[in-house]
Structure 1
Amino acid sequence: MAGLGSAGVQANIEPSSTLEEGMEPAFSQAGFLYSLDAMAMPAGLVADEVWVSVDLKGRLVTVYRGEYVIKRIEHLAYGAGGAAPLRAKGSSMTPLGEFRVDRINRTSRFGLFFGIDYPNAEVASEALRIGKITPEEYHYIETYRARHGRAPHTTALGGLIGLHGLGSGDPDVHRRFDWTEGCVAVDNYQIRALDPWLNIGTRVVIRG
């Protein structure tokens, strides 16, 4: 991507367009990027692409357009079992990596649910390589994705992971604990604030 240097080296950034109202530079000093590790950008990012960064450690959900911040949401809860690149069904772990929104449920018990494509092709390939799933399960995942346009949830890797609200859940529990079965949760007001920006295919980068 234009303007990106090697990690730890300053690089000039040339925005493709002027900032719209409500947008701000993604970096602490506009015009410079100090480390590629400071923000996990999706591969092949295009200038006006809307994407979402989920920072579990910082408990921050940020919506970007290209390199610029559209919306920043503070505080989230994630899986009670922690986080890892590969999660097992029933582990209550949140998957780390790059995903895409592959389903939107506006009548979820959590109020609003943006499902991501875990396990995607990269996850399934790695799980097969290290023996977490069988060749038959790998074939099933790829066939299901091709037929239905979304990831299955019935293999050893689990699924039905996404970003969602609380629904009728307890806000106090949400503030104090990581309580989900692997999803990323924000409050009901915050999930509605994400609605205008997330669509089928929107990239979601989850990092710990």
Structure 2
Amino acid sequence: MLGPETIRTPVGPDPQRPVTRPERPDLTRPIQGNIDRILIEKGARRLTVYQKGDLVREYRIALGFAPDGDKVKQGDGKTPEGVFKVDRRNDRSKFHLSLGIDYPQADDRKRARDGGYSPGGDIFIHGQPNQIAEGYRVKGDWTEGCIAIDNHQIEELFAATRIGTEVEIRP
């Protein structure tokens, strides 16, 4: 309860001080050095790149032709979910350039073995099909479970990504 001697102080920002928003990083500066993490958010169709914990790039992505849910078996058109590592780099890809991830993992292989099917594999972050003219992009979710970005984007990502880089794929 407030008494007569209570001093009231304004709540909120000081009116004498300008309010500023946190600055968004400059996502147009070239990436210098290696990145340490790639975050893929399937629902948002976004791939976010981090270097030393800082956001350095965001790309719009395409996914497998049946994007909802986690990958279960070969041919299901789904993109796997979980935490992976880049385990190979392909500069002779059918999709400009590509970065492979270590799917399937042990639990995926066990589930598939127990279910009597193949878990699939060869999941990559890659560019556009080589037969498409430069500057064009396939519309919609069209891959067989991979993550696709533009060719100039995969060039930038390929140059900054090393074997062992973490890749997290969220629903």
Decide which of 94, 110, 113 is 1:133's aligned counterpart: 113
The one-letter code of the counterpart of 1:168 is Q
Tell me which stretches of 4 or more aligned residues in structure 1 moved more than 4 Å. 170-173
In structure 2, what is the equivalent of residue 181 of structure 1?
144
For each residue in 1:18-56, what CA deviation from the matched residue of structure 2 results, as whole angstroms up to 9, or x when unmatched? xxx957xxxxxxxxxxxxxxxxxxxxxxxx971100111
Greater helix content:
1
Matched, 1:84 2:69: yes
Matched with 1:158 is: 120
How many residues get paired? 139
- How far did 1:179 drift? 0.4
Unaligned runs of 5+ in 1: 1-20, 24-47, 138-154
1:162-207, CA deviations, whole angstroms, 9 ceiling, x for partnerless residues?
1000033377662x31000000000111111102221111110111
Mark the CA change 1:83 to 1:114 in structure 2 (over 3 Å): closer, same or farther. Answer: farther
Say if 1:86 and 1:80 are closer, same or farther in 2 by CA, change over 3 A: closer
Q: Greater Rg, structure 1 or structure 2?
A: 2
Q: In structure 1, what is the equivalent of residue 20 of structure 2?
A: none
Q: Structure 1 residues 204, 172: CA separation in 2 closer, same or farther (over 3 Å shift)?
A: same
Contact 2:72 2:108 in 1 (8 A): no
User: Which structure would you say has the larger RCO, counting Cα contacts within 8 Å and 6 or more residues apart?
Assistant: 2
In structure 2, runs of 5+ residues without a counterpart are 1-24, 28-33
SS of structure 2 residue aligned to 1:199: coil
Tell me the distance in 1 between the aligned counterparts of 2:63 and 2:86: 17
Give TM-score, length-normalised by structure 1.
0.59
SS class of match (1:190): helix
CA contact (8 A) 1:55 1:207 kept: yes
